[in-house]
Amino acid sequence: MTQHSYTMAILLKDDYFVQGAGLPGRFKAEKVEFHWGQSNGSDGSEHSINGRRFPVEICGVWDRLPKSVTLRALGVQSLENAD
């Protein structure tokens, strides 16, 4: 696990793969990243959806084998107003 300022990454040492569903090859899971802002409501996400940023973001990072392309998948982008 590594942490830098408002980012934390969990490095995956076992082999987890994803393929099919239109992906151009076989991808190995490398890490799960968490990004957050300075305080509640601040823009902590690295990525946006339709120009909107979110307080928190979870990303999965996979590398194509052989390594030539990195695939990023966005997970949870907002935990606000869960009711």
> Taking the chain (83 residues) in consecutive chunks of 10 residues, what is each chunk's mean pLDDT?
74 90 87 80 75 82 80 62 48
Q: What is the pLDDT of residue 43?
A: 75
CB 64 within 8 A of CB 39: no
Helices (H), the chain: none
Q: What is the pLDDT of residue 11?
A: 92
Residues 29-52 pLDDT 10s: 889 988 887 766 667 777 777 888
Rounded CA separation 36/73 (Å): 16
